[in-house]
Amino acid sequence: MTLAEYKYADTIHRCFRCGYCKFPVNWMDVNNCPAYARFRMETYSCGGRLWLTKAWLSNEIDWSEHLAQILYSCTACKNCEEKCPLRFNVDIFNMIQAARAEMVERGLVPAAVKEFLENVQRHGNPYGNAREGRGEWSQETGIEQYQGQDYLYYVGCVGSYDTRAQQTARTLGKVLLRSGVSFGVLGSEENCDGNEVNALGEETLFEMLAEENVRKFKDLGVTNIVTLSPHSYNAFKNDYAKYDGSFPVLHYTQLLRDLITDGKLDVSGGMNARVTYHDPCFLGRWNGEYDAPRQVLSAIPGIELVEMEKNRESTLCCGGGGGNFYTDFLGGSENSPARIRVREAATTGASVLAVACPNCMTMLEDAVKAEGLEDKLVVKDVSEIVGEVCGIG
């Protein structure tokens, strides 16, 4: 593909590289682009990626492994889109995604991305784990297979396979059972939602996953979906309609909020804790849902909810989006965004860092260990906090 054939050929040169994209709303630092925070070289800024993309497609520079890593270091957090003052800002991530698609097309992706995509293609998950094991997390929980219940509880790859995130998936399932919600899971029949595959630029594989999931959901008569992961939520809500899959979908924090409001979930037991909440990018900036998780936490007596300085639209991404929870292009440094983020959380004096995303959970929990903050800060999913309040382990 030449620059002229690139979908954003008329737009990509419009980035001025003024740098607003590095800031949170209040300008307190220039670390709100996760990749720039990690490397602090202009190449890793949003503007750097756009200029390099144009240079590559114009044959001003050759492809290299380094170029590919720079493009894949973007976590799709959309901080840049939120902060860029120019009118094309809505297409910033699309421009990166389209460049990645070209790399996929030419077989020029980094090894870790290739592995991610191959694993999803072969096993339906990025870890390369067996499909049959996808439902093991729910054993002995009483959670049923989906058979036309009110909700399909879609867990996603991380919740299904990551040991720590499996605990979250189980706890949420038990909370939903306790609340009397009619739901079921797909277990080993669940397949990857494709959100990260799409972000990594593998359009064909995403299309296959979406079409297959839509077919399956329809065959099973799925009417409503509740997701553990904001990433799944985003794919179902925003991308599946193209594949004739317009299913009403909730992120679980929205359902828990409604259950509490309707008196179906009793959180009056309370919890004495100072809690700070980290907004997941695919719930917050991608879908504008900042309130539901806070409403759940605020409904619990005894919880003192304190905000980090960078919250809502200004949240610093954990660094795990866009497949980086697996490819790990931003890891290995005290400047890794997850480590910066847990340091920010610790400064609030909170003892609990609440998350609402299994990717954030794994990224931030690892970061707490790397920072040696285990004695001060515990990462808990909002569902786990609710579970504790309800006496569910």
Partner 1 sequence: MSSVYESLVEIVGGEHVSTQAEELYIYSFDLGTTEPHRPDYAVAPRTTEEIQEILRLANREKVPVAPLGGGLSLAGLALPLKGGISLDLKRMDTILEVNEKSRYVVVECGVSQGQLTSYLERHHPTLMHSEPGAPPMATIAGNMAIHGQGDLAHPYGFNSDMVNGLEVVLPTGEVCRFGSCSVSTQWYTNHPLPDVGLFLGWAGTTGIITRVSMKLFPHKSIVGAGQFVVKDENLIPEIIHKITHTEMVHDLVAYSQAIPPFSSGLHHLTINLSADSEKELAFKMELIFDDTLGHYIRSGDGGYLGFNRGLQRPQVSKTSDWRKGGGFEYVGSIMPVETYPDCYRRGREISEKHGIPYTVLGRVIGMSHAMMFSWTYAFNRADPETMDQAREALHETDDLVLELDGAIWKPGTYGQKLVMERMDPNTLNLMKKVKQLLDPNGIMNPGNWEVS
The tokens describing 63, both together, are: 């492809």
Angle at 108 between CA 13 and CA 118, to 5 degrees: 125
* Closer CB to partner 1, 61 or 111, in the complex: 61
Number of residues lying near partner 1 (CB under 8 A): 38
Q: Is 237 in the site for partner 1 (CB under 8 A)?
A: no
Say if residues 236 and 248 touch (Cβ distance below 8 Å).
Answer: no
* Closer CB to partner 1, 26 or 139, in the complex: 26
The sign one gets for the Cα dihedral 159, 160, 163, 169 is positive
Q: Quick one: how far is CA 44 from the chain centroid?
A: 20
Q: Is 27 in the site for partner 1 (CB under 8 A)?
A: yes
User: Taking CB under 8 A as the criterion, which residues in 86-115 touch partner 1?
Assistant: 86-88
Cβ count within 10 A of residue 274: 14
Q: Tell me the three state secondary structure of residue 361.
A: helix
Mark 48-87 with x for binding to partner 1 (rule: CB under 8 A) and - for no binding: x--xx--x----xxx-x-xx--x--------------xxx
* Closer CB to partner 1, 25 or 390, in the complex: 25
Instruction: By CB under 8 A, name the one of 1, 7, 30, 378 that touches partner 1.
Output: 30
- Torsion of the alpha carbons at 198, 100, 341 and 281, rounded to the nearest 10: -30
Q: What burial letters (b/e) apply to 32-53, b meaning 16+ CB within 10 Å? A: bbbbbbbbeeebbbbbbbbbbb
Q: Is 28 in the site for partner 1 (CB under 8 A)?
A: yes
Mark 331-370 with x for binding to partner 1 (rule: CB under 8 A) and - for no binding: --x-------------------------------------
* Closer CB to partner 1, 22 or 257, in the complex: 22
Distances (CA, A) of 186 to 96, 137, 154, 160, 216: 33, 12, 7, 11, 10
Q: Is 18 in the site for partner 1 (CB under 8 A)?
A: yes
Q: Give the integer Cα–Cα distance in Å for 148 and 181.
A: 13
Distances (CA, A) of 89 to 47, 94, 120, 327: 11, 10, 30, 26
Q: Considering the complex, what minimum distance in angstroms separates the CB of residue 17 from partner 1? A: 6
Say if residues 154 and 231 touch (Cβ distance below 8 Å).
Answer: no
Instruction: By CB under 8 A, name the one of 43, 94, 141, 238 that touches partner 1.
Output: 43
Distances (CA, A) of 223 to 10, 92, 210, 251, 392: 41, 33, 16, 15, 28
* Closer CB to partner 1, 62 or 375, in the complex: 62
Q: Considering the complex, what minimum distance in angstroms separates the CB of residue 9 from partner 1? A: 8
The tokens describing 33, both together, are: 């682009």
Q: Is 252 in the site for partner 1 (CB under 8 A)?
A: no
* Closer CB to partner 1, 65 or 150, in the complex: 65
User: Taking CB under 8 A as the criterion, which residues in 181-220 touch partner 1?
Assistant: none
User: Taking CB under 8 A as the criterion, which residues in 274-333 touch partner 1?
Assistant: 309, 333
Q: Considering the complex, what minimum distance in angstroms separates the CB of residue 201 from partner 1? A: 18
Q: Tell me the three state secondary structure of residue 331.
A: coil
Q: Considering the complex, what minimum distance in angstroms separates the CB of residue 58 from partner 1? A: 10
Q: Considering the complex, what minimum distance in angstroms separates the CB of residue 70 from partner 1? A: 6
* Closer CB to partner 1, 39 or 252, in the complex: 39
The tokens describing 181, both together, are: 């919600």
Amino acid at the residue 279: D
* Closer CB to partner 1, 39 or 326, in the complex: 39
The tokens describing 342, both together, are: 């847990």
Stretch that binds partner 1, among 44-52, 92-100, 138-146, 299-307 (CB under 8 A): 44-52
What does the binding site for partner 1 look like in residue numbers (CB under 8 A)? Answer: 10, 13-20, 22-23, 26-30, 39-43, 48, 51-52, 55, 60-62, 64, 66-67, 70, 85-88, 309, 333
